[in-house]
Amino acid sequence: MKLEIVGLSFSYGPNIIFDNLNVEFENGRLNAILGPNGVGKTTLLKLIAGIIKPHNGSILYNKQPLPKGSVAYVPQDNILLPWLTLYSNVELPLKIAGVDDDTRRLRVLKALEATEVLHLSNRYPKHISGGERKRVAIARALASNAPIFLLDEPMANVDPSGREVIWRILRGLSNEKLVIVVTHEISEALMVGDLIYVMAGRPANIVEVLEGGEEAWARLKRIITLYYRQ
Amino acid sequence: MGSIEKNNNIVLQTVKNVGYVTLVLTLACILWQVIAITSDKPYLPKLESIAAKLYLELVYGRLLEDLVATIRRILLSILIALIAGVSSGLLSARISLGYRILRPIILATYPIPHVTLIPILLWILGIEYSKIGVISLIAFYPIAISTMEWSLRSPKEYEDIVETMGGGMYHKLRYVIIPSIIPGVLTGLRIATSTAYAVAFIAESFVLTNGVGAYIEESWHRLDYAGVYSGVVLLSVMGIVTYMLIWLIEKMYRRKIE
């Protein structure tokens, strides 16, 4: 299973974000996009999620255009609907997809359990911590059964123990889903990513793709010196 | 645990607010009684005369029928204002044509003293509907403006999430847009209903048919001072109760999400 971005171009007014961007993401590995703030990481996620449309180019999953509802997107902020309980938040994609009551309940409970937030299911988002909110958002993505997961800065504003839980969940997920995590923090990219895509430049491009692990650190240091200070 | 504490806080705050209102009303009653006794003027009747009149008119007189007529008028007007206000507020905030055309019209016509339109509405809508028309018109503005403001400040990310789930406009309306404007609608509704009682009085006393406004006006012409005060007390109590009720619902909803 492969997500291909082919000849993608996008701009905000005169500000060109991508010009003929080509990149591929694969299943079974945790893909992390690393880049400085404002480079276009979130824009790329929004383009993949279909929230904004590219001016040129295409986004293909298994050589086909992405079908509706195939992407579970977890934005950086405002990730849960504040007027719904956590249970209802997780249930939402299933309701929209028209899944029957019994199946819905089973899938929601399973997802809440997998992300270790089942005990919070009757609460509202404002009454839990940032890390717990992220986990509920991941539970929602899990319940939706979407094959592609997009997470924007999933570790931001999360305490170390919460990061550990999220990391464990994402690692488990990456075996069966295509997971793309966006971050501007090198430590987070190293912690999460099996493959680290370094995004830099204006228009932005993927300037390096690194295997995660200890060797990546030395190479990242060189890349950062080169691109982050531009 | 947190939500229990918050619910307790709401109950505590409500009890406090009811306590304050009761205290202020009690003090006002004492002050009234002192002034009524010391001044001995017929237009300042003692509390017991007003209470007796209110009881007699409600139980044996026409006041209950008038009250029902006024409430029916207010409910119908508020319903019209609610539908028109929420629709206009949403259109003004979410559709570019609405933002460019409808929003300036609403904001520009808001300061007009709409009560002055009663004679014109009387020609156009007739006796009964002119009253409903003017109450609806005045109640429309706070609801429309508040809906507009809340709709404009709702984060776009919520709709993006629903869109990525495969949701269309119906899902966005049901799960994001409507729930996000509820606090604004309730704020507008609270202001609108308080104003509605005052406007109902003006409209009913302008076109004398039935209603508490008509009852007050007729009592005033007959120099029935206790009758005038009975009507005033009744409208005031209704206004306070409605205001507090909507305030409580608003508070409970906002506590849940903020």
**ipTM of the complex as predicted:** 0.80
With cut-offs at 50, 70 and 90, classify the pLDDT of residue A177. confident
Mean pLDDT value across residues B112-140: 90
**What percentage of chain A exceeds 90 in pLDDT?**
49
Mean pLDDT value across residues B24-35: 92
Mean pLDDT value across residues B39-58: 91
Residue A88, pLDDT score: 96
CB spacing of B158 vs A144 below 8 angstroms? no
Q: What are phi and psi of A199, to 5 degrees?
A: -105, 130
Q: Which of A81, A93, A123 sits opposite B176 (nearest CB)?
A: A81
CB spacing of B257 vs A126 below 8 angstroms? yes
CB spacing of A93 vs B166 below 8 angstroms? yes
CB spacing of A126 vs B155 below 8 angstroms? no
A148: closest chain B residue by CA: B164
Mean pLDDT value across residues B218-238: 93
Residue numbers in B near A51 (CB within 8 A): 160, 163-164
The architecture that CATH gives domain A1-70+185-230 is 3-Layer(aba) Sandwich (3.40)
Q: Are B214 and B208 in contact (CB under 8 A)?
A: yes
Could you tell me the two tokens for A129?
A: 């911590």
Give tens-digit pLDDT for B81-97. 999 999 999 999 989 99
Residue B13, pLDDT score: 78
Residue numbers in B near A82 (CB within 8 A): 257-258
CB atoms within 10 A of CB B73: 24
Q: Are B89 and B144 in contact (CB under 8 A)?
A: yes
With cut-offs at 50, 70 and 90, classify the pLDDT of residue B1. very low
Mean pLDDT value across residues A160-177: 83
Mean pLDDT value across residues B171-177: 94
Task: Look at the alpha carbons of A16, A22, A28, A31 in this order and tell me if their dihedral is positive or negative.
Answer: negative
Cα–Cα distance measured from residue A165 to residue A130, given in angstroms and rounded to the nearest whole number: 13
Residue A229 has pLDDT above 60, yes or no: no
Q: Are A115 and A136 in contact (CB under 8 A)?
A: yes
Instruction: Give the amino acid at B185.
Output: V
Cα B225 → chain centroid = 27
Q: Which of B158, B165, B179 sits opposite A96 (nearest CB)?
A: B165
As a CATH number, domain B46-257 is: 1.10.3720.10
Measure in Å the smallest separation between the Cα of A213 and chain B Cα atoms: 32
Domain ranges of chain A: 1-70+185-230
Residue B76 has pLDDT above 80, yes or no: yes
CB spacing of A79 vs B161 below 8 angstroms? yes
**What percentage of chain A exceeds 70 in pLDDT?**
93
